[in-house]
Structures are given as C-alpha cells and as structure tokens.
Structure 1
Amino acid sequence: MGVTNLGDNLINNAQGLGDFIPINSTIKQGSIEFFLFDVNLTTGVGEFYELLVFVTGNICRQPPGLTEDDPSLLVYYSFNYSMINDLSVAKRSEFNYGYVEMLADLPYTSAQNTLTLYLAVQAPENTNSSATWKYELGASQNGLVFQWDERDWSCLVDADDKSALIVTGNLTGIVDSNKPDESLFSVYLFPESIQEELRLLNRSRCAVLSSDALQIPNAFTSSYTNRTGMLQEQFFVDGLNDSTTYVAYVISNFATNSTGGALYKPFAFETMSQGSCELIYDLDFCLQVAYSVASNSTLNATGTKQLYDIYAQNLYTNFSKALQQVACNTTSTSVFSPVRTCEDCAESYKNWLCSIAIPRCTTVNHTEYMLREAGTGRNSFIKDTVVPETDYYEILPCLSMCYSMVRDCPAVFGFGCPSGNSTIALSYGWDSSDDYPTCNSVGKLTSMAQGHMSVNWVSMIVMFAVLGLVL
C-alpha cells in the first residue's frame, strides 16, 4: 500500500494504511492528519455484497488535565475524495475512553476498478499550544485491528495474602491446550490508582500497555484448566502485598495477526490480610479445588496442596470399594437407577468429599461464614495435622452439593442431608449472593454462562446484516 500522489497540498503527505498494519502517530492540538486506505476489490468480509472496511483506533497518551467533558480526537472517513477539502461530507466518530470503532461500507459494483478510503484524524483545540495526543489507527477489510470487549471475560478465582489466581472465559474449540506456549492472552496487574490514571483511556489497549504495571506477563505462571467443565487459561501470580487492592487487565493478540489485539473489561480484587489461608489449585485428586485453605507457616503452597489432596484421596478409598459392589453395568431392570449412573454418583460424592475435607478459608468476615479459632477447624485433620496459627473464617460447603450426592447415589448408601435452617447452618451454606461467595461449591459448572471468546464478532454481525438475516 503506497501513498497515492493526489496533487493536493492537504494530502500530499498523507500516509498509506496497509490492511491490518496499524500506524502510530502524534498529533498536535488543532491539527488534522490524513490517511489513505486502498480497498482490495476482490477480497474482504463484504465481498460480492458490500465493500466493508473496519477502522479502529486507540489513544495511547493525551494531554494532562482533561475531563470527560473535554472533546477528544475525531476520525473522519469517506470514499469521496472531496472530504479532503470539506470534512462535512464525511462521516465521523469520536474516540470514547481512548477507543474508536467504525465501519465504512459502500455497495459493491463490478464497474469499480479502484477505490480509496480517505481518513482524517482531527485534534481538538487546547489551551496548551504544545499539547499533543499519541494514537494508533488501523484499517482492515477482514476484521477489527483493535477491539474493546466490555464483557466480564476474565475473573479472579481466589486470592490469599500474597498470591492470586485469574482465569479467562471459555476457550473450548478456540485454543489448543497442548500448546501453552502459543497463548494469545496476557495479564497485567496494576495498583488501584490505575483506575484514576486511565479513567479517560480505560478502553485503550496501548494506554494500558504503556502504563507502569506492577506485574507483567513474565511474572505470571500460566496454564490451561478444564476443572469447571470448559477449557480456560489460568494465571497465577505471587509476591503480592496483603490487604491490597489490585486491578487486572487481560489483553489478547489475534491468532491470525500479531499487530492487533483486544482489551477486555478490567476487574479489581483485594488480597487477604495476613493469616492462616493459603491459595492452592491443580490438585491431583480433588481436581476442582482452586481456592484458599487453612494452612500453617511451616508449609508452603505445594506442601499444603499435597497434604489436603492425600487426605481426601484416602477418605475416598472406602467409598470407591463400596461403589464397586453396586449394580452399575447390568440390565436395565437390575441397575440402581434408570436416570443416574455410578459415574454420576462417584462424581457427586467426590465433589462433596473434597469440599468437606478441604474447607475454603478466608480472612474476610461475612455473616454466612463460620469463625474458626486458631488451632481448630472443620475436622480433626485440620486441628491435629494442619494446625492453623491464627483465627480464620470458613466458607461453608454449598448445601446443593449434599443434595446432588443424595440424588445421584444408591439409596443403600444411606446418604442424607440435614434439614431445618438452624441445623443446616452448622455445616452448610446457601448460594444467595452474586457479590461474594456465600458458600463453597466444588465441581463443574452447570451453566456455560461465561460463553466463548469472541474475536471480531462485529465482522460476523455485519455479514448477517449484509445477507439480510436477523440475529
């Protein structure tokens, strides 16, 4: 893509944009910069229907002291050359919180031999005559070069007083879990003050990348997990401060091109105060356990994980032997249930057992949590073997796991759950809030509500619109 000599003083120095090859530029207040994108008439998302060009951009840096009421950079675009001398003939979009996204479209006609999309970036007037904006702009006929995704795509699994575990959304069918080195995702951890620093640029990928992160991707241990029943990438970070609020940003590169990428909605979390809770995950037996547990300063995370996992596995042994005596693989008239299998029973019992044998620990006090004094715990194993050194709170197992075990297992086992709220509250909790975990659930998710990752879904929406289909 080269610069076309249009013989006009305003555009002689215009820069040519290549497909999925963004430019970086710095513009002074009150100035205008022009760009050209030569449209390929034989390829692209809108081929044979409409000619489509996706234009996206980020503001990486802007003058200090701006407020939400101040104007931002404007992007003008048109297939009509006359916009060079009259911007009023062009369509325009304004950067919003550091991000802009546009779709330039034109009906396709076979008579067209060449076509150019003209772009102009205009900076507002500023009282500081030397004020500048640094930005990046990209254009493509095949999708968004940059993307702001406002979904809650990533979240905190849990954190103790010095570490945290973060996961992405559902990656099933999108990435190869056998190739962890080819991860498209990165996590950047910032102090709470970043929310004010990026208040007007919190949708800009380059603004986040150019900020001073406390923890960068190299500081994280990443791997893939399917403990919730779907493939996710997880990021573990250590060396955090206790009782401290952090802000996490997840950024991805696009698999088909390394020059663009997406920024996902950030989230904040707080580490626990110093105490007896230790974050563990990726256990060999209790695969679904990924949260903080009561521990002791003489144990590290690996030692704590192995101690609990072996304890739970030993408890499971007798049940496993008993289940082998149940009529599972037999005739339909002899099987213990027409709708449940021994595999269902084994899974439900294991989830229940892991939640009971490995209680969840926190230093935060909510009315649903049970106070455990130093040296005590839900069972004798915690009291005699783990021996927590300080008081902590237990997030009680969810009652629904007990119900699932009773439902899925043969009646001959005699499993039962407590009845009456006062009796239940001694051992179990209810899932009654979206703001924080009111009980601890172990096992696969029953809903795939987190959904799949969407990369350039705008492209797909446009295709449906072009084809006249209704979403």
Structure 2
Amino acid sequence: MKLLLYALSVLFYLQCAAQGLKFDNRPSKELDAVKPGQHRFDQSVLAIIQRDTIALENGTSESVTLTSGQTQQLSYSRQKLDNTIYAYATVCNQPIAIEGLTVSASDYSGLRLQFLGLSSADNDAKAEESNASVNKEFEYGIVQTSFNGTNDIQISVVAPSYDSSKWTGTWSLQILILELSTATNFALFYEQGGLYSLDTDFESGLLLSEVIPTNVTQPPYDLFVFDGSNLGINSLQMSYCAIKNANAQFTQADADVSLTGKLWGAKTRQLFFLKDLSAATEYQAYIVNSETYDTEIGTVFPGITFATKKDETCRLVYDLEFCSEVAYAVPSSSSALSRDALKEWYDNTTQSLFHGFNLTLQLMSCDVNEHVRYTIMRTCDNCRDSYKRWLCGTMIPRCTDTSVGGVGNDTSGTIFRPVNSSRNDLIITELAPDPYLELLPCAQTCYSVMQDCPSDLQFQCPINGKGLNESYSLIADSDLSVQYFQHRPTCNFLGGLQKNNAPDANKTNALTLVMFFLTTLILHQV
C-alpha cells in the first residue's frame, strides 16, 4: 500500500511539473507575502483558468455571458478570401439595479459593453483596444459591423466593472457571423418607419405599422408593449432578444391583429388594437421581425410612446364599413353604448346623408367625354371620394379629453364642446356626450371637395378669418405627412399621407389651377 501511494505521488508531481506548476518548501507566511502585481502561480497556469476562446460558425448565433469586468474572446475562420464577413451582436439581458435603489436613464449608459474586432493573419492575436480595427460601444443593445480582406476574424466583448452596491447580475448576448459573397445582409435596427399610434381612449389603443411588402399575406410583425417608465428596456431598445425576453405588459396575444389597406393610403399595413389598458397611463411599444437568418437575432423598428386618455367620454372606433378611414376616438354616449353599437350608429348616420349627395352627383356632367366635362383632370369618382372623406370627418368628430390627457397639454387645433354642444345636432340628441375637446378636421379636407367636384354643386368652404377657424384647423400642406401625424396632430385628416414632407403646396395648387384653366379653355376652343 505504501509503495502504491508513493507511486501515485510521483505521478502527480510529474503531471504538475509538466504544466508548469512548482512546489515551494517555504513556510506558508512567506508564500502569503505576495507583492502587488505579482502572481502566486506561473503565468502559464493563469492561462489555463482563463475563459476559452469561442469559435464562431457561419450563420449560427452563439450565446455569451459576461460578469462585471470580464472579457470574452471569439474567433471566426474565413471560408473564402473574397467574401464580406458581417458581425451582429445583441444584448439580451444586462445587470439590474439593486432592489429599492432608484437609478436614472444616464446610469444605464455605464453598463454598455465594448465590441473590439480585428482581422489578422496571426491566429494567436487578440482583439484589443491598441490593435482593433473595429472599436464600438453597444448602442441601445446592439453592434453591427463588417470585415473585408483575406484574414480570419478575432473579436473581444468587454464588460465594464460596475458598482456592486448599485447593480447586480450579468450580461447575456447573442453574436452572429454571416459570411456572404453579395451584400444581402440584414439590419438589426431600422432607423425609420416602424410603428405609429393612431389614437387611444381610456382603455384601448390603436397602433399601425409601416407599409409591408405586397406579397405578405400574414401579419409579419410581433408587438411588445411596456410600461412607459421602464428604463431597462429603453436602454436596450434596439435589441431583438432584449425586447422578446423582457417581461412585456402586453404582447401580440393581447391585441386584435389584422392587415389593412384603408388607413393612411391604399398600401397594406399591420393594425394592432390593444385592449384592457389602464387610463391616463403612458406606454412604450415596439414591433420586431423575427424572419431573419437566425431565430435568436431579429430586426427591431423604432419604438413609440403613447398614452391613454383619462375620461370615458371618448371611445375608440375603427374598421367602419362606410367611413373606412375613421380610426380614432369619437364622442360616446353617456348611456354606455357598446363599442360596436357606437361604431354602427356613426357609420349608418353618415352613410344615409351621403346617399342624397350621390343622387345629385349623378345629374352632373363629370363622367362624360372630357371635352364637355367640367375638367379633364377630375371625374365623378374623384368628387365622390373627396366628399365622402369630408362627410366622414365632419359627421364623426375626433374626440379627446378636456384636459388633453394622454397627448400633452397642447390644445392647438381643438375646440371645447360643453354639454349640449357638438358639430352636429344628432350627436347631442341621440348620444348626449359629456364635455370633450374636438380635434377639428384639416381644412384641406374641405378644399379637396371644392377642387374635385363640379362648381354646380355650389359647395363652399369657409374663408380664413371668416368662419374657417371655428370649423377647421388650417395647417401647411407640407405637414400632411406621416412624420407630422405620428406626433401630436393639430387637425384630423382622413386619407393618404406622404412618406416625406410634400413640396410647397400653395405654389403647387396655384400652378395646378392655372394649368386646369388653360387646358380646359384650349380644348373647348378646338
């Protein structure tokens, strides 16, 4: 037995010596007296206990976890010399504040990771600040970059050292490499487009996506809604996995989701009707697209902030059969009509008024030969569409809180409607709503009828300074854009909006009227 123990001891000694581990016969007190900057073990031993370098594979994301002050090395071996290598990194989780401790949005900036990238012929090289060709901080949870050349790729992800009295936890992230011969990479974050808030009431909200491709037949985006004060998710707002893995208050499952081509023009968009929201509450919402190269890394669109109304006077309606472009809160009945009954009442009332106009229009010369038509640039269909849009916008007023709760304190473009006061008497006699603020229709809605319909109809809009401001809100034509209406609008507009701000419409309209006149005059003389 003694002989066996001796043999095992010799083998253990030889194995340690082979790995560079040295035995020392000094007393323990002397061993403990290690000077600052020295290591108790040989450097070769320290290399053994460091984290191994992660080898990345093309098209497959890799999970990485980091603690405070830690660095993770990663490498990728190029497959072809002339390919471009795209690197995507997205933070899924980050340390959280100690329970009970209040932190600000600026405090989260101290948690940003650092991404270092190096394209080197030396496979033993490490990506460090001194030699990195790519040196980026993670912006709102993501880094996206590319490497050209013929060398393999070395990557380092560096975590900052945080104050343990303020923060706790680790970072987790996903890293994806795509080696492509053509520029068919995707974006982790789209800077434009995304999601828009159409309107809210005290318990629901209506959100609309950016235009989606015409060949898409199923809703492509997933929705995530968070409390408006969630600073953690706000600091990672460009990260797909952070949004997906966070504890969202509302998701796709809590909304009625559909595709529509009726709002903001004839192009298809995804519509979200959120229910069971809290009154007078602010939320932040994001949509993401998971249809990318990897299930763990997707595309995020810019988030929005929206708020519910305080009062129950306004009720959100949408998807009306006749007034299909109406998608906003309307004055509701004090007798608590259901949402569907309220929608049906407004739609039927407006359609019955349109019937008489349509009969009159059939007597006009707007669908005849262009030589005898009132203008060669318009037809009965143009007139009919403009009048319908005007009628829906005036017969179905847009309603908001008397305090403008949920959309700020700006009351531009609104008019106060006390009890027994409304745009039309039917709302007073049949709905009898409590006091509310009405967001006035855009004056352009009225002007379009004058421009598109025969003068024989004798349709006239009020003049600016002589009744216009009491019935309509006048804004520049260049403001009839998505960018304007995604914020606090100062008038209610039905119809298609421009992607970008339109040119000076005052000059354009004047020139158009002149061209109409001259062209019509010439044709009548021929």
How high is the TM-score relative to the length of structure 2?
0.74
Does residue 283 of structure 2 align to residue 246 of structure 1?
yes
- Give runs of aligned pairs for residues 24-423 of structure 1, distance below 5 A: 24-41=63-80, 50-64=82-96, 67=107, 70=110, 72-82=112-122, 84-87=124-127, 88-91=130-133, 92-106=135-149, 116-126=152-162, 128=164, 132-142=170-180, 144=185, 147-173=188-214, 175-176=215-216, 179-180=217-218, 183-194=219-230, 196-227=231-262, 228-229=264-265, 230-254=267-291, 258-296=295-333, 297-363=335-401, 364-365=403-404, 366-388=411-433, 390-423=434-467
Where in structure 2 are there 5+ consecutive unaligned residues? 1-46, 98-105, 405-410, 502-526
Equivalent pair of 1:275/1:392 in contact (CA under 8 Å): no
Give the CA RMSD over aligned residues. Answer: 2.8
Between 301-310 and 367-376, the greater mean CA deviation after superposition: 367-376
Aligned residue for 2:429, secondary structure, equals: helix
Once the two structures are superposed, what CA deviation does each residue of 1:10-58 show, in whole Å capped at 9, x if it has no partner?
999433333332122212333332333343429xxxxxxx421111111
Equivalent pair of 1:188/1:249 in contact (CA under 8 Å): yes
Which residue type is aligned with residue 135 of structure 1? Answer: L
Where in structure 1 are there 5+ consecutive unaligned residues? 1-7, 43-49, 108-114, 451-471
Does residue 490 of structure 2 align to residue 438 of structure 1?
yes
What's the CA shift for 1:312? 1.0
Number of aligned residues: 422
> How far apart are the structure 1 equivalents of 2:235 and 2:294?
28
Change (3 A) 1:347 1:127: closer
Higher normalized helix content (fraction of residues): 2
Change (3 A) 1:264 1:54: same
Equivalent pair of 2:442/2:491 in contact (CA under 8 Å): yes
What's the CA shift for 1:161? 0.7
Equivalent pair of 1:161/1:275 in contact (CA under 8 Å): yes
Rg: which structure is higher? 2
Aligned residue for 1:416, secondary structure, equals: coil
Equivalent pair of 1:145/1:260 in contact (CA under 8 Å): no
What's the CA shift for 1:124? 3.1
Q: Percent identity over the alignment?
A: 26
Equivalent pair of 2:60/2:294 in contact (CA under 8 Å): no
> How far apart are the structure 1 equivalents of 2:96 and 2:293?
36
> How far apart are the structure 1 equivalents of 2:155 and 2:496?
49
Aligned residue for 1:60, secondary structure, equals: strand
> How far apart are the structure 1 equivalents of 2:431 and 2:169?
60
How high is the TM-score relative to the length of structure 1?
0.82
Specify the alignment match of 2:499 in structure 1: 448
